Amino acid sequence: MDGMADGELVLPLDVATDLATVGGKGLSLAKLARAGFPVPPGFHVTTHAHRRFTTTREMPEDVATAVRSALSELDGPVAVRSSATAEDLPGLSFAGQYDSFLGVVGEEAVLEAIERCWASLWTDRAIAYRARNGISSVEMAVVVQRLVPAESAGVLFTVNPLTGNHDELVINAARGLGDALVGGEVTPDIHVVARSTGQVVDTVPDPVLTEDEIVELAHLGERVAEVHDTPMDVEWACHDGTFWLVQARPVTGLDEQADDSHRGDYLWTSTNVGEAIPSVMTPATWSLARELTMPEIAGHPMTGNIGGRFYLNLSLPLSLASALGLGRIALRRSERVFGRIGAGVEIPRVPMSRATAVRAAATMAMWMGRQALSYYWRLGRILSENPKRCKELHRRIGETDDPRALAALWRSDVEELLTGTCRTLEAGARQASPDGVAAVLRRWVGEADTAALMTGLHDEADGALESLGPLLGLARLRRGEVDRESFLWAWGHRCPDEFEVSAPRPAEDPEWLDRQLAGLGDPEALLRRRAQARDAAWCRLRARRPLGAKLIRRRLDRLAKAARTRERARSEFVRGFWVFRVFALRAGELTGLGEDVFNLTFPEIVAVLDGDRSAVAKIPGRRAAHRRYRALPQYPTLIRGRFDPAALGRAEEPGDGAITGFPGVGGVVEGTARVVSTVEEAESLLPGEVLVAVSTNIGWTPLFPRAAAVVTDIGAPLSHAVIVARELGIPAVVGCGTATARLATGDRVRVDGLRGTVSVLG
């Protein structure tokens, strides 16, 4: 039994390294034995032996001889367990599908138990399980181990299988051998251990295990999970105070919990990114976002998925800047983009030497430099060519009828849209901010004229700002200047949740246009009034500061060009995500998964198209987790350290003080609040009401002319709400955090866009 030559019939327990030879259970036990875990001694009867058996339909003599030889090294009763090649794998456990036998004594009884394990491969339940999970080919090995004469036994989960909480280990324990517990014949003790503290947080009276034994077993389970790099379901037995591991498999059917907040003590923000992706992400969307964002720096994540929502790690860039002596500058620039960080909020710092910071800064500079070069050389061409390219990809995806051909199309064309074109468009969407010019104007002409002048960030001769495109396009459609098909191709990809690939696009809804036209109002009249106010403000500025007015005009012209480029880039960026949605929907059709396909990452979708359906088993858990996260209240804009979405309480009750946020667009308005959570709810907005929402994006644009003011929980100076509100001259306060929780529809409120406050009246 010393080698692993081809055709080996029996192997020592700790020698095997090949799934195809010893099966999933055997491979897991071999891995544990080699890592030094307490595993009962034993051996594998390999799939080569099983193959020999299937050709003769009786136990081959050379197999029986090899088993007898290996068995002579074990004393007393043994456990004989099946180990199929599609068993105890990530996503597929096959738990209980194949037979195992405990307390087997004697050579002939062991040989009979091995044959019965092999035969269990073809029971009705095993065949049905494989059919449900798309498993067409499987072989059977068998594990034979010395039986542990356990005083107690049970199962250890290195993640809470009921809640998905990765900070909890759950131990089930019962007296005697573990087969009755695993078979559901006895009620076990249940203990919960907090991974973060190592403390037992939940137990039972008169337990089978002592507290010290519970903690020892939990530490053992943590080590098992580290070795396998996944949450594990571990069967254990205890004899004379020693724990033995008799089986280990990945936890399956788990409601997958996104918990990047557990990766370290960081300050996370969803401002701005929460506006782009305002809802809980599907795994498909998260896989795209991960591909587009900056990789880890010095071992720390730049982005995170917290309870299904997208967050940026503020601690990392601010720590890096502090190590380089640029902390104050970085904080000011960060607050311009992500809004103010409250005085009471501590920003955890990542320990970082100056040398590490220099290397990390170089890595970031190289990554951003590549993005900038791509943007500089390619953006203009991409902006002009992307609509045609996306339309062609729509056609080719729709005409592809073979799953493997669709996977090939991803690799040859669609993936480059993600890794090349969309990265360039994302760089173009990060264009210059008008804050510097606005600050100068406030000193010269005050807030009112500054607001009027800043509405001129587009020149009518060059076309409207892209954020207003759907609004003005609807007006042109109503006048008959464009047809419905042209409008839908130009704007039908823009929607409230436009970076979520599972979200339907307006172009897919034949009634969407009619609903928008019905509530349109007269946006052009509003723009004309704003243009008159802007012209009057320019006259006053030229009279007061003739030289300064020329300088400001040139800077505003440059900003206008940057603003148009930024908005066009974002529009084409979103058009690319429409292609990814069309691809996923087609993949769902060809694989029979339907819209469940969005519960897979794009690499997993492509693998399923290529015939590997192992990821399909993850869908139920992910679907349940997504449903659970969507039912929770809005998460905080800022998160510090570990965050458990399931423990999220109700938002704070309304207080006496004003709601504060980030000043968006100046002006004071009093009106009735209309608090909404979706753009569909916002259709009820009446002219002159104050729109209060978690966030807005371009899909909300047609509603803005009805609003007297806009208030959002999430937002910053470059957010959509500010851009459009400024163009329309509507006061706006963004980044309030809890406005939707503290206000109710019907409240009379005063919105002060300059001060960034919202007050409830009377």
Q: Which CATH class is domain 152-250?
A: alpha beta
pLDDT of residue 400: 97
| Confidence check: pLDDT of 586 > 90 | yes
Side chain identity, residue 183 = G
Average pLDDT for 48-66: 88
DSSP 264: S
- 651-701 pLDDT, tens digit per residue, is 344 445 688 887 777 778 999 999 998 888 888 899 899 999 988 877 787
pLDDT at 459 over 50: no
Give 259-282 pLDDT, tens digit per residue: 778 777 888 888 767 667 888 999
Give the C-alpha separation, 208 to 634, whole Å: 42
Beta strand pairing call for 242-250 and 200-202: unpaired
| Alpha helices (H) along 519-545 | 523-544
CATH code reported for the domain at 10-146: 3.30.1490.20
More confident residue, 380 or 307: 307
Question: Of the ranges 137-146, 487-496, 709-718, 744-753, which one carries the lowest mean pLDDT score?
Answer: 709-718
pLDDT band for position 179 (cuts 50, 70, 90): low
Lowest mean pLDDT of 232-241, 344-353, 685-694, 735-744, name the range: 344-353
Q: What type of residue sits at position 289?
A: A
Domain coordinates in residue numbering, the chain = 10-146, 152-250, 260-399, 435-612, 659-760
Q: Do domains 10-146 and 152-250 have the same CATH topology?
A: no
Report how far apart, in Å, the C-alpha atoms of 686 and of each of 538, 691, 752 are.
33, 9, 20
Closest C-alpha among 698, 667, 679, 693 to residue 745: 693
Rounded Cα–Cα distance for residues 159 and 221 (Å): 10
What is the topology classification, in CATH, of domain 659-760? Answer: Glucose Oxidase; domain 1 (3.50.30)
Task: State the average pLDDT for the chain.
Answer: 80
Angle 292-293-299 (CA atoms, 0-180°, nearest 5)? 135
pLDDT in tens, 86-144: 544 444 433 445 778 888 999 999 999 999 998 888 776 567 656 655 555 578 899 99
Q: List, as own/partner pairs, every contact residues 419-422 make where C-beta atoms lie below 8 angstroms and the sequence separation is at least 24, other chains included.
A: 419/291, 420/374, 421/382, 421/386, 421/389, 421/576, 422/292, 422/573, 422/576, 422/577
Residue with tokens 């996306």: 390
User: Is the predicted pLDDT of residue 369 greater than 80, yes or no?
Assistant: no
Residues paired with 269 in a beta bridge: 312, 638
For residue 122, give the DSSP letter.
G
pLDDT band at 183 (very low <50, low <70, confident <90, very high): very low
Closest CA to 404 of 637, 712, 611: 611
Position 140, amino acid: M
Backbone angles phi, psi at 424, to 5 degrees: -65, -45
pLDDT value at residue 653: 40
Residue 2 has a pLDDT of: 40
